[in-house]
Amino acid sequence: MKLRKRLSALIVSAALLLTALPAIAPATASAATTMGSIVLTIDSPTMTVNGTSKAIDAEGSKPTLDAGGYTMLPLRGVVEAMGGSLTWDAANRTVTMVKDGQTIKVPIGSTKLTVDGVQKDMLANNGTYKAAYINKSGRTLVHVRALQAFNNTTCTWNQATKQVTVTYPTNTPVVSSKNYRVDLINQSGADINALYYGQSGTYSYSKNVLTSTLKKNGTASFYISVPDNATTRLYDFYTEGVGTKFFNGLNLTGVNAYVTVVLKENGKFEQANDKTITVSSGDTALKVENNSKLDIEKLYMSKDSSFSSSEIIWDETIDAGDDETIDIDLDGTKTWYFQVVDEDGDKYSSGKVTFSSSTVKSATLTFSSSKKLSLKGSSSGDSTITFKNESGDDITAIYMAGSKSELDDADDLLDSTLKDGKSVEIDMDLESDTSWYITVEFDEYSDIEEYSLSFDYKDPASATLEITKKAVEITKEKKSSSRGELSVAFVNTSGREIVEAYLVDDVDDFDVSDYDDLLDGDGLADDAGIVIDEAADADTYDLVLFYDDSDDDDDAYDSIEVDFDDATDYAAVWIDSSTSTSFDGTEYTDAGDKMIVGVYNNTGDDLSSLKVYDIDDDSVKSIGSLDEEKYSFFELDTDDYPDIYFEASESDESYDVSDLDEEVPFAIVNLEDLEDGDCSLDSFDDISDFDF
C-alpha cells in the first residue's frame, strides 16, 4: 500500500491582483511604483506590513533563528503581503514564488535557487544562506534571504531588536483607508465566470474583475477604491456562472487594509476583516457507475433529503453500463444525498450517503438495475448483508432505513424476486448506526412492516438476515477491521518472518475472522519493512503477529501493545526479538524526537564494516557487515544526534546526513557511491513510492 502525503490547507492567495476597472464604478487609485517594507520579529506570529500589524498566516507561523543564525519561516504570508504568490510542488519538493513577472524556485535541501529559469548559487560571493527544509510538523521553512532573489528586494537584520526588515518594490495600488483589497473564496457550489461590484443602492456596477473562471473553492483578489465623496461603505456583488447570484451588504467600515470574503450558496457570504482564512485543498473524485438498463441524464447532490439545497453535478448522458468520474466539493460535510434522473424522466434518490471524511479524495457511487445508489470504496465501511429467505413464500421487495420515517422513501434493495429458500448478498453502508428498520413484501403472505433490527457492530463486515414468515433475525454478524487515518510503517528485525499482522482492540477478545490481515497475505520478511496507508487511528492497540517457524500452535503468535495516541499523521513500529519465543516492539509517532533509520546498501559492493558517527566523531552505532541490496535498521534520538555520517572500511569517503531532527519518525538512507560518498535520504513523509 502507498502512503499519500498530506498537504497542509491552502491559504488564501493574493496572486491574482486584478485591476480591471469599471467605467461606471468609483474611480480607482492609480498604480504607483513605491517601496514597501515588512518587518518580521523572531518568535512573533505578527508582522508589520507598511506600518500595519497583521498575522503572518492563519497557522500562527513565527520566524525562528536556526543554528548558525538563519531566520527561517514559512514564506507564503510574506510573499502574499508583497503582492506575490507562493505554491508548493510536492512531487519535486520545490517552493515556487512569483511576483511582478519573476519566478523563483526554492528546492528543499539545496542552496541553489532558480530565478526565471537561471540557477543562482546563494553561497556565491561569500553569501550566507540556509537551505529550505520541512520541519517535524510538515511545514516548509525557507530562509528569509531567499526573497532577495526578487529584483530590488533587500533583507536587513537588526541584532538589537531581533528583527528582519524586507524592503521591496510594489506596483500594486497602495493600500490606504480608501483602497481595499478583497480576497475572494468561491464556496458558492459552482464555477464563477464573471464578478461585478458596486456601492449598495446605486445599482451601478464595475466591469468584470475576473480575468479567468473562478473555480469552486478557488481564490482570487481584486481592489475596491472608495471615493472621497462616498455616502456608504456597503458594497454589493453579483456573479455569473450557473445563473446570476447576488451577494448584498459587504461592509468596508472598520476594514484597515483588506477583507476576506467567502461566497456561500443562496447569496450568502462570510466576511473577515484584515484576516486570512484557510480553505480546503481539493475536490473529491466521484466515480458514478451506471449498472442499470437505463441511461442517466442528470445527477444532483444535496445536503438534505428534501433537495432544497440541491446542485446539479452532471447534466450529460451516462449510458447504461458506462461510468463517469466527476469532481465534487464536499464542503466540509460527510453526509450527502444524491438523486438521478433517467432517460424516462423518472427520479431516484439515494437516501443518506456517508463519506469516510469530508476531505476524501475518491469514492464510487453505483446506480444498479434496482435503481439503487450505493457509495463504495471511501465510505465509512460497506457491509455485506446476506438476505436469506426462509419464509415459505417469495419475497418481492425489501426496504431498509435508519428510521421509520425514512422507510417510505427507501429504495427497493432487490433487483428481482427473491425466491423461497434462496439468498442474495447486497453491499450496504450502515452509516455507523446499529439501529435499523426493515419492511419485507411477500408474494402471498402479509408484509412484515417497520420491523426493528439491532446490529452488534456499527459497521459490520458482514451479517446474515434470516427472513421467516413473521420476523427478521440478524445472525452470523462479523465485525469489520479497525482501520483509520494514520499511515504506519512496520520494520521487522525479529530474526523470523512475520506471516500475518493484526491491529486489534483487545488481544484477549481477538478472533482472526473479525479482522483483515494488514500484510494482505504477503508476509513481512526479516530485516524488511512495509508502509501501510490508513492502518490505524490515534489510539492504543494490541499488535498481533503470526510467524511461520514454530512447531507449537500455542507458540505460533505473540502480541505487542502499541500506543499511537500522540500521532497525528504517521507512526512507525519497530518489531524486534527479546527472547527466542517472543517479540518486542517500540513505536514512534510524528510527535516524538526518536526515529528509525534504515540503511540500504546500494553501492554495488558488500560492506564488511559500516559504522555511524555523530558530528563530533563520537560513535553512534556499529552496524558491521552489510551486503549489497540489504538493509540494516537502528534507533536514533534526533535531539542528541541531528547530524550523522556513515563510514565503511571499503571507502576513504564518508556519507553525511544532516537535519535528521527535521524528519518524521522513519527514514531510509541510501548509500550509493563508495568513491564519492554519495547518499540520499527518503523520509517517511515521502516514502509512498519506496520499494522495500
In this prediction, residue 587 carries a pLDDT of 84
Question: Cell 508548493 appears where?
Answer: 88
Closest CA to 387 of 307, 295, 300, 463: 463
Counting beta carbons within 10 angstroms of the beta carbon of residue 505, is it exposed (0 to 12), middle (13 to 18) or buried (19 or more)? middle
Closest CA to 350 of 376, 387, 378: 376
One-character DSSP codes across 47-69: EEETTEEEES-TT----EEETTT
Cα distance between residue 78 and residue 83, in whole Å: 9
Report the predicted TM-score, pTM, of the whole model to 2 decimal places. 0.37
Cα distance between residue 441 and residue 396, in whole Å: 6
In this prediction, residue 507 carries a pLDDT of 81
pLDDT value at 591 more than 90: no
Mean pLDDT value of segment 349-354: 72
Question: Cell 468609483 appears where?
Answer: 26
Strand-strand pairing, 486-492 and 462-467: unpaired
Q: What is the pLDDT of residues 218-246, one digit of tens each?
A: 788 888 888 766 777 889 999 998 788 88
Cα distance between residue 499 and residue 496, in whole Å: 9
In this prediction, residue 679 carries a pLDDT of 83
In this prediction, residue 16 carries a pLDDT of 21
- 82-96, 175-189, 270-284, 610-624: range with lowest mean pLDDT: 270-284
First to last CA, the chain: 12
pLDDT averaged over the chain?
A: 80
Indicate the DSSP class of residue 355: B
Cell of 569: 499523521
Cα distance between residue 272 and residue 397, in whole Å: 53
- 22-36, 166-180, 596-610, 657-671: range with lowest mean pLDDT: 22-36
Cell of 637: 534520538
Mean pLDDT value of segment 74-95: 88
Cα distance between residue 669 and residue 547, in whole Å: 28
Cell of 503: 491491529
Cα distance between residue 302 and residue 312, in whole Å: 9
Cell of 631: 538493509
Q: What is the pLDDT of residues 397-437, one digit of tens each?
A: 999 988 888 888 777 888 789 999 999 988 777 766 789 99
614 with 639: CB under 8 angstroms? no
Cell of 61: 507561523
Query: HSE-up of 402 (CA within 13 Å, CB side)?
Result: 12
Counting beta carbons within 10 angstroms of the beta carbon of residue 445, is it exposed (0 to 12), middle (13 to 18) or buried (19 or more)? middle
**Cα Rg of the chain (Å, integer):** 31
Interior/surface letters 468-494, b for 16+ CB within 10 angstroms, e for the rest:
eeeebebeebbbbbbbbbbbbbbbbbb
pLDDT band at 19 (very low <50, low <70, confident <90, very high): very low
575 with 527: CB under 8 angstroms? no
In this prediction, residue 689 carries a pLDDT of 45
689 with 668: CB under 8 angstroms? no
Which residue would you say has higher pLDDT here, 168 or 276?
Answer: 168
Alpha-carbon distances of 522 from 478, 530, 583, 690, rounded to whole Å: 23, 11, 20, 17
Which residue would you say has higher pLDDT here, 334 or 63?
Answer: 63
In this prediction, residue 380 carries a pLDDT of 42
pLDDT band at 441 (very low <50, low <70, confident <90, very high): very high
Q: Which of 241-245, 275-279, 384-388, 649-653 has the highest mean pLDDT?
A: 384-388
Indicate the DSSP class of residue 26: P
pLDDT value at 613 more than 50: yes
391 with 471: CB under 8 angstroms? no
Amino acid found at 360: V
In this prediction, residue 232 carries a pLDDT of 78
pLDDT band at 683 (very low <50, low <70, confident <90, very high): low
Mean pLDDT value of segment 280-301: 79
Counting beta carbons within 10 angstroms of the beta carbon of residue 305, is it exposed (0 to 12), middle (13 to 18) or buried (19 or more)? middle
Cα distance between residue 631 and residue 482, in whole Å: 30
Cα distance between residue 332 and residue 280, in whole Å: 8
Q: What is the pLDDT of residues 516-562, one digit of tens each?
A: 788 877 888 888 888 887 788 777 888 988 876 655 554 567 888 88
Contacts of the segment 676-684: beta carbons below 8 A, 24+ positions apart = 677/651, 677/653, 679/646, 679/655, 681/657, 683/134, 684/3, 684/489, 684/531, 684/570, 684/572
270 with 239: CB under 8 angstroms? no
Cα distance between residue 156 and residue 71, in whole Å: 11
Mean pLDDT value of segment 322-339: 80
Q: What is the pLDDT of residues 484-527, one digit of tens each?
A: 667 788 888 888 888 888 888 778 777 776 677 888 778 888 88
637 with 664: CB under 8 angstroms? no
In this prediction, residue 466 carries a pLDDT of 96
